[in-house]
Every structure is written in structure tokens, then in C-alpha cells.
Chain A
Amino acid sequence: MYVLHGVHDWGSQVIHMALAELGVPFHFNALDFQAGDLDAPSFRALNPFGRVPVLETPDGAIFETAAILLYLGERHGGLAPKLEDSDRARFLIWFIFVTNGLHPAAMTLLHPERPGGEAAQRAVADETHGLLQGQLAALEAVAATGHWWLSPDRPSILSLYVVMLLRWIKAFPAYADHSIASQDYPALHRMAKGIETRPAIQQVLAAEGLSGPVFSNPDCETAD
């Protein structure tokens, strides 16, 4: 049985959703970051970095969101093109584009102080806001071409990943004027709506204390 170590409404959410959609048995171990759970030696033994998510598997503990997703996609099938499928290459491009590009950019929009300290944080946030729009436009063009793995109709490890990031960049940017609405990207917006209404996803969201248009139109929670 899989054990997912995560924090509600953090990056572990996409793994939580993938496990639920696969219908495999798993246990969600909710960590309390404020209580220091991420620095506990037992957690650091699983991930020397102290970051979530970590998935304990029969093959050992895996970290890195994309690594866990791809592993689950390969072990169980259904959430990603198979190795021999002709759209595997195209899928991999955009999956890695998201993990290397969109995900770090979204994190920087939320935490612009990280790449250059406080003095640079507004400049970092401004650059990142522009960068994200370019990345989203590229992704929107792919979603508009109708690949199942980036569509409203059937979830994939890629679409689940993208909708979580759509939530973050709408709801949690460090600066309120950097909030990006998914409505600006119609195909991605439709995908977010399709995914958030799936029964398996609604169960996960409820377990994480969330409801409503969590991905397609979440409330802005930025303080200023």
C-alpha cells in the first residue's frame, strides 16, 4: 500500500488526486508543517530536503512531484500514454515543460523572495508574472488541440498537475495584482472545470478541506 506524506492544499494535492483517480489503496499521512513535521528526522530520512510530497512505495520512498506522477503513470496505466503509444513523446514534452517551467514559475510567483532575497522580490515577481503568461499561452495552444491528456474529459497526471498550478497562480500570488485567472486561457479553464467536478477529485478536495471551483475560479487568498 502506498503512503503519501503531504500537507493539505500543498503540492502533494496532485499526487493525492492521482491516487484517488487510479483507485489504488493508499494512506494520506497529513503533516503539520507548523509543528515542524517537515524537519523531523523520520521525514528527512524519506526526503533529505524536507519537502512534500513523498510517496512510500514497494520500491522505496520517492520524492519530486513529477517523478512520483510518472512512476504512478507507469505502474498503473490509465493516467498517461503508455511507452509504446505514439503520443508518448508529445506528452513527455509538456509534462516536463510543466515540471521544469510552469511549476517553478508558479512557486516563484507565490514566494518571490526565494530567488533573490527581499530586495529583489518585486522585480522577481514581475519577471515571473510575464514568464508565466508565455508558458500558459504555450500550454493553452496544446490543450486546444484536443489531446486526451490535456482535456476536460479524462484526467491524466499532466492535467491534474496543471489544474493544481492554476489554483496556485490565481489564489496565492505574493502580490494581488499578479493573480492570473484561468478564464484567460479557455481550454485550460474548461479542463479545470471538468476535473474539479469529478467524483474522485471532489472526495480528495473535501478531505483537504476545499470545495467550490477550486481550480477553475478559486478565491484570491493573497493578503494585500
Chain B
Amino acid sequence: MYVLHCYPDTASLAPRMVLAELGVQHRCQLIDRAAGVLNSPAYRAMQPLGLIPAMETPDGPIFETAAILLYLADRHPGLAPAPDAADRGDFLKWLFFTSTNVHTTLLQLFYPERTAGPDCVPQVLDQALPKMKLYLSLLDKAAEPNPGWLSQDRPTVLGYYIAMQLHWLGGYGAGHPLQINAADYLSLFKVLTMLEAQHATQAISDDEGLGPTPFTAPLA
């Protein structure tokens, strides 16, 4: 049994949806942030940096969103190519592209002060936004042939990982200078539309208060 330590609308979202999609036994342990759980010795023993998410497994605790997703995909086949599959290399390439480029740039957009302190926020945002749009267009192009690892027809771990990030990027609201609309990326938008129709997405979106269209039209 897995225990995922969660907080609504944080990076626990994608692993949570993947756990629900896989239908494996798990429990979502709500993190009491107000009570300082992230800094507690018990949480730090599991996740030394005090970040969300962390997941308890039969093999001990695991963290880093991409690590959790890859671990689950390999333990419970169906949402990513198996290690001996011919398209495993392509899957890994775009999974790591997403985690090292898209996700890290996303953090610069949301926390620009962490990159260069409070005085250089506009400069960081100026660089990060076009970079993000370039990365998304490359991902969109990779999704165009409808590959099995980022299918437009059935859920994948990479699909959920990207959907979570487009959910956040689209949440600024129309007219906001940092707003990114998933609809601008046609193939990714098809993936998002399909994922949004999944029972797993709807159940968790409902539980976390994210509305009926968390990926294609997130609440501002």
C-alpha cells in the first residue's frame, strides 16, 4: 500500500491522478502545512528538503515528482513503455525533457525570486516565458504523431505530468502577461481533453476543488 503525502493543487496532483488511474491501493495523507508538518522531523526523514510530494512505498520513501511517476509506471505497467520496449528511449527522452526543462522553467515563472533574489524578478520572467513557450511547442510537436507514451487516446504518466503543469500555467487568467493557453498547443490539447474525461481526473479534481476542466480551462 502506498501513502502519498499530498496538498491540494501542488505537485502531488500528478502522482495522485496516476495512482487513481492505476487503481492500486493507496492513501492520500493530507499535509498539515499550517501546523508546520513540512519542517517536522518525521517529514524531513522522508523528504529531507521538506518539499511536496513524498510517497511511502514498500521499498521506503520516494520523492521528486518524476521519480515517483517513473517508479509507479515501472511497478504497474500500462501507463508508459516497459523498459525493454522499443519506444522506451523516446519515452525517457521526453519525460526528462519535461522534468528538466519544462518543470524547472515553470518554477522560475512561479518563484522568480528564488532564481535571482527579489530585485531581478522582471528579468527572470522575461527570459523564462519565451523559454517555456519554446519547450511547450517542442513537446507539442513530439505529441503530434500520437505516440503511445503521450497518447491522445489513453492515459499515460507523461500525459498527467504535462497536464498538471498546463493546469498551473493556464491559471493566471485571460489577459495576464504570464497566461499560457493549452489550446495553443493542438496535440497537447487533445491529450488534455482525453485526460480530463477520465474518472481519475474528475474525482481528484473534484476533491481538490479544481473544477470540471482543470487542464483545458483551469479556474483563474
A binding-site residues for B, Cβ under 8 Å? 48-49, 57, 59-60, 62-68, 70-71, 74, 83, 86-90, 92-93, 95-97, 99-100, 103-104, 108, 114-117, 119-120, 123-124, 126-128, 131, 138, 141
20 more A-B residue pairs beyond the given contacts A88-B59, A89-B60, A92-B64, with a C-beta to C-beta distance below 8 A: A64-B92, A66-B100, A67-B92, A67-B97, A71-B92, A87-B59, A89-B57, A92-B67, A92-B70, A92-B71, A97-B64, A100-B64, A100-B66, A100-B99, A115-B124, A116-B115, A117-B123, A117-B126, A119-B120, A120-B116
- Residue in chain A with minimal CB distance to B115: A115
- In the bound complex, how far is the Cα of B8 from the Cα of A159, in angstroms? 35
Q: Please tell me which stretch of B34-42, B81-89, B182-190, B208-216 contacts chain A, meaning at least 4 of its Cβ atoms lie within 8 angstroms of it.
A: B81-89
- List chain B residues, Cβ under 8 A from A131: 114
B49 contacts chain A at the CB level, 8 A cutoff: yes
Residue numbers of B with Cβ under 8 A of A are: 48-49, 57, 59-64, 66-67, 70-71, 74, 83-84, 86-90, 92-93, 95-97, 99-100, 103-104, 108, 114-117, 119-120, 123-124, 126-128, 138, 141
**A148–B137 CA distance with the chains assembled, in angstroms:** 40
Whether B93 lies near A67 (C-beta < 8 A) is yes
Task: Say whether, besides A64-B93, A93-B62, A100-B103, A124 and B120 are in contact (CB < 8 Å).
Answer: yes
- The answer on a CB contact under 8 Å between A127 and B64 is no
A90 to B, closest residue via Cβ: B60
Given known contacts A70-B92, A115-B124, is B67 in contact with A124 (CB within 8 Å)? no
Contact A116 B127 (CB under 8 A): yes
Taking the closest CB of chain B, its distance from the CB of A127, in whole angstroms, is: 6
CA distance A59 to B84 in the complex (A): 11
Contact B63 A62 (CB under 8 A): no
Q: Report 23 cross-chain contacts, Cβ distance below 8 Å, ordered by A residue.
A: A48-B141, A59-B88, A64-B96, A66-B96, A67-B89, A67-B96, A86-B59, A89-B62, A92-B64, A92-B67, A92-B70, A92-B71, A93-B62, A99-B100, A100-B100, A116-B116, A116-B123, A116-B124, A117-B126, A119-B120, A119-B123, A127-B115, A131-B114
The 5 closest A-B pairs by CB, nearest first: A120-B120, A116-B123, A67-B92, A64-B96, A92-B67
